[in-house]
Structure 1
Amino acid sequence: MPPGPVPPSPVPSGPQVRPNIVFVLVDDLSNDLVQYMPNVLKLQKDGTTFTNYTVTDSLCCPSRASIFKGQFPHNTGIIKNHGSDGGFRLFHSRNQEQSTYATDMKAAGYRTAFMGKYLNEYFAKLTMGTGKPYVPPGWDEWAAGGNAYDNFNYDLNENGKVVKYGNKPEHYMTDVLSAKASKFITTTAATGQPFVLEVSTYAPHSPYTPAPRDAALFPGLKLPRTAAWDKVPENSTWLPKSMKLTKVQIDRMEVEFRKRVQSVQSVDKMIGDLRQTLTTAGIADKTLVIFNSDNGYHMGQYALPSGKQTAFDTDVNVPLIVAGHGVRAGQSVEQIVENIDFRPTFTDLAGVAPSPETDGHSFKPLLAGEVPADWRGTALVEHHDPATDPADPDYQYDSKNIPPSYDALRTTTFTYVEYVDGAVEYFDRTADPYMLKNVAGTLTPERLAELRTVLRGMATCVGADACGAVSRKIK
């Protein structure tokens, strides 16, 4: 039976600052793009950067479900972008939308808004039996698209009414979302009601469409070649030892990387514009601005063409930057944080108890420079049933070298991976930061048994207490 709604926490009483939240979630952004985003770099200078932020799955829909629910994929049941084991339709049919961070915050007295990309398989015209374009529970303002990766010629469901956008420069998706977000901030600030706003861009997801004004920027920009460029890790259990990138792949990635850098310019401008809107509205000091990505992206590392889904840091370790009310400026935090932590963090900021169904913990103390003694020791990454369907927007169209299903532990110092066929990998990221040598064969049987026990415990845990307790068993 699908889980029912979780009763909301009571609205807190007594005077306290309950900050607004502006959550900018981008699609497929990797750490190597941040250097081209001056407003994000300014946000970093003004706030806190989480260097070990790790996604629960390097795939759009499972990651986004974890954000909304505060749960690992094994508890949301969303392990794919579409079909019988993932996507919006499964999320909806399981009644997952009845209890999310949106319903929590609305019950806590916040005004809520969502704009942009929701979950895969959601389309603006879907009615889901309501008789009009469907808007999920918990959202006061709603402007969501469907398959709008081109950023032009798309539909938005705007509060139950479908609005069509064409191919004029002013119809570029990120700019449209930015304008709507600024309007929401301005109008809500005038009421004095606290708010949470998620702006979820399609950029820089393929086809990496930039705003027309940015399409000629960065001429001659070359794809970065790190130490992992075109190298299969030693003792890899799933990548062919002799695999090398082809000239066609390299030439295509050179163009793709430049387009990715161009496409994030509109995101960067939006962040600058939204922060200015907050200042103009007089609420910048009462607001947190959060910059994050649903997953990372590899381009040429490990001899892999453009894509994601692996347990390499390129794919699972992505930017999380927070600035604003109560956040220490210029701070770098190394503690492990995951996307299951957004929901309990938001309710903590609102002054209400977290939903009992969440697996994560509030990282509010970390923003102020405080480290809870019982903070987790490891992140869990779960990637099952990889995107091998050509209908999937994340289908790896030019390479069959996508990883088998796996579960992984990622700590501040190592990554341990168990694949569905029983193969294991262990990367000592202190000695080997680019993850170029699998040294699982050097581990003692006792150490392997310990890692397996913790991984099995993490991959089956339910609830913040249980998941936190297992995560602290790792060393």
Structure 2
Amino acid sequence: MIHRRRLPRPAPAALFCLVLALALVGCSGGEGKGGAPKAAPPGKPNIVFVLTDDLSWNLIAHMPQVRDMQAKGLTFDNFFVADSLCCTSRSTILTGKYPHNTGVRTNFPPDGGYRVFKAHGGEQASFGAGLQRAGYRTAFLGKYLNGYQPGDRQGGPAPYVPPGWSEWYVTGNGYPEYNYNLNENGRLVHHGQAPQDYLTDVLSGKADDFVRRAAAAGKPFFMEVATFAPHGPFVPAPRHAGALPGVRAPRTPAFNEADVGDKPSWLRARPSLRSPGLQGIERGFRDRARMVQAVDEMIARLRRTLAAKGLDKDTYLVFGSDNGFHMGEHRLAGGKMTAFDTDIRVPYVVVGPGVEAGGRTGAIVQNTDLAPTFLDIAGAAVPPATDGRSLVPFLRGARPPDWRTAALVEHVKPPPSPQDPDRQDSSPGAPPTYNALRLPDALYVEYQNGEREYYDMTRDPHQLDNLGGRLQRDRRRQLSALLYALTHCSGAGCMSAGRTR
């Protein structure tokens, strides 16, 4: 039986806000448009976080709303994920901890997945609970963590909703965009194959509805909308199925790399890409570009609603991705998990109160920094065990003098799993387990089998010339020691460990 969603009762009156002297930024006072209650007290801005799945930098050219956000907000040019794999990255986003501290190293047990995240206390450590304690109404929509089942009751009378979330609209296998079940605040609702069941559009409608109700309640809110787009199998919305007919996969110098003789053994044996593989890349990239049209439309809809409700001046809108995606670079047909910039460097853009228009920063930031940023915006305490650090100074136009100069990437090769939509990169030809450093001017990788990579990013931004075998001994020891320190860090020690001398 298909259930229809019931709207929750209005939230209670908002808690008293922090005094203005402690406010993150000044917020507009008085009533909202049309005499509606003020949406957020001073010092308690709203936060809307749109998290996409496998979205790479080269798709931003096809997203006019995101480009407009760049023109009106701040772009993080060097935002790196701690692992270019869905569940590990999302666990880091939720907790602000590196994978070696979340315990989530892959998408499925025994080394990862939702059950491992929960067993390691991830739900209690996630930022949702902290935001609720700070007086926020919280909502989570879309994709949670690999292995999560929306109908799982976990011993309770109704489908389970994790702690920290006032509202919950989440599914498990939403990759095909159709024929899925949503856990809607503990009620399982089925969506089929009709055009109106297209998942990104369903999330868009529910997100818009939440914002409208939150505006009427007059309580600060946080909402994460985590789309499955543009993850494979690359299913665009019906209205976009024929869009962008001339779009092709970008041909950077790394595309179908001519000579991989200096690459590590897992990549060195890869043959050049040929047809029909190249044709598949073209189709895949075009459909990915088509998929993000619905995401871009969702962002436009949210921005219109925020403005109409008088919330746009009191709301931070954050756009980003859990990891990047390669399509043809270095002879790799399609996937992630490598330490190349295609996979670990992702778009992050923020608009909101006090954020200067058209700003850019080249500081090394990571997905460990998102949880402390959200808590900081809310005036909530950041747990001492958090490995990342708040990005709020950057939103104010400042850069802390003691900020990190090295990003940590740590990846465990997952075993093949028929359940895993990312299993194409669990094959014997995928990269083995590695740890890596991304510096402002270099990438350094240590593989479990003893192989190394080093790229001079100033002279070689496309990572074509591996200098790993030609590093001077002192430099290699320095980088290896830094990598060891970061892979064993925790809490505030991670920021100090990430500052190179």
What TM-score, normalized to structure 2? 0.90
Aligned partner of 2:498 in structure 1 is 471
Structure 1 residues 12 and 84: alpha-carbon distance in aligned structure 2, compared to 1, 3 A threshold: farther
Deviation at 1:398, TM superposition (A): 10
Residue 157 of structure 2 corresponds to residue 149 of structure 1: no
Give the drift of 1:397: 6.7
Residue 247 (structure 1) shift: 1.4
Task: Specify the alignment match of 2:412 in structure 1.
Answer: 384
1:218 aligns to 2:244 (yes or no): yes
Q: Which residue of 2 aligns with 1:263?
A: 291
Aligned to 2:381: 353
Partner SS state of residue 236, structure 1: coil
The offset of 1:352, in angstroms, is: 2.3
Per-residue deviation at 1:237? Answer: 1.4
Q: Which residue of 1 aligns with 2:436?
A: 408
Match of 2:313 in 1: 285
Q: Deviations over 1:241-292 (max 9, x none)?
A: 5621131211111111111010000000000100111001101000010110
Q: What is the distance in 2 between the residues matched to 1:198 and 1:266?
A: 17
Query: Is the 8 Å Cα contact of residues 387 and 396 (structure 1) preserved in structure 2?
Result: no
Query: Which string of whole-angstrom CA distances, capped at 9 and with x for unpartnered residues, describes residues 140-188 of structure 1?
Result: 0000001110111110000000000011111110111011111111111
Structure-2 change in CA distance of 1:11 and 1:337 (3 Å): farther
Q: Is 1:427 the equivalent of 2:427?
A: no
The 5 A counterparts of 1:362-377 are 362-377=390-405
Q: In structure 1, what residue type is equivalent to 2:91?
A: A
Change (3 A) 1:64 1:397: closer
Look up the SS of the partner of 1:263 in the other structure.
helix
What is residue 5 of structure 1 aligned with on the other side?
A: none
Query: What do residues 376-409 of structure 1 show as CA deviations (whole Å, max 9, x unaligned)?
Result: 1111001013353333110117964211100000
Q: Taking structure 1 as reference, are residues 242 and 394 closer, same or farther at Cα in structure 2, changes over 3 Å only?
A: closer
Query: Which one of 99, 116, 129 corresponds to residue 142 of structure 2?
Result: 116
Q: Secondary structure at the match of 2:476?
A: helix
Aligned to 2:233: 207
Q: 1:204: how far off?
A: 0.3
User: For the structure 1 residues 151 and 364, does the alpha-carbon distance in structure 2 shift closer, same or farther, using more than 3 Å as the test?
Assistant: same
What 5-or-longer segments of structure 2 have no aligned partner? 1-14, 24-42
Moved more, 56-65 or 11-20: 11-20
CA distance in 2, matches of 1:11, 1:337: 33
After superposition, the CA RMSD in angstroms is 1.5
Give the counterpart letter for 2:319 in structure 1.
F
Shift of 1:353: 2.3
SS in 2 for 1:396: helix
Query: 2-side partners of 1:251 and 1:393: how far apart?
Result: 21
Name which of structure 1's ranges 397-406 and 438-447 shifts more when overlaid on structure 2: 397-406
Amino acid in the other structure paired with 1:353: A
Q: Please list the CA deviations of residues 120-144 of structure 1 after superposition, one character each: whole Å capped at 9, or x if unmatched.
A: 0111111111221010000000000
Q: Higher mean Cα deviation, 218-227 or 37-46? A: 218-227
Letter in 2 for 1:205: H
Please report the TM-score for the alignment, with normalisation by the length of structure 1.
Answer: 0.95
Deviation of residue 190 (structure 1)?
1.6
**Structure 1 residue ranges without an equivalent (≥5):** 1-9
Give distance in 2, aligned partners of 1:316 and 1:242. 21
Larger deviation, residues 90-99 vs 80-89 = 90-99
**Are 2:321 and 2:348, in contact at CA under 8 Å, matched by a contact in 1?**
yes
Q: Is the 8 A contact 1:390 1:397 kept in 2?
A: no
| Conservation of the 8 A alpha-carbon contact between 2:369 and 2:388 | yes
Alignment of 1:185-196 (within 5 A): 185-196=211-222
> What's the secondary structure of 1:143's corresponding residue?
strand
Matched residue, 2:341: 313
Q: Distance in 2 between matches of 1:161 and 1:172?
A: 19
When structure 1 is superposed on structure 2, of 441-450 and 153-162 the one drifting more is 441-450
Greater shift after overlay, 201-210 or 396-405?
396-405
**Aligned residues of 1:105 and 1:112 also touching (Cα < 8 A):** yes
Deviation at 1:442, TM superposition (A): 2.6
**Counterpart for residue 177 of structure 1:** 203
2:304 maps to 1:299: no
Of 87-96 and 148-157, more deviation after overlay is shown by 87-96
Q: Distance in 1 between matches of 2:179 and 2:375?
A: 36
Contact 1:386 1:403 in 2 (8 A): no
The C-alpha deviation readout for 1:185-225, integer Å capped at 9, x for no partner, is 11111222111100000000000111100001011322221
Is the Cα contact below 8 Å between 2:413 and 2:426 reproduced in 1?
no
**Residue 94 (structure 1) aligned to one of 120, 124, 135:** 120
Query: 3-state SS of the aligned residue for 1:343?
Result: helix
Ranges of 4+ aligned residues in structure 1 off by more than 6 Å: none
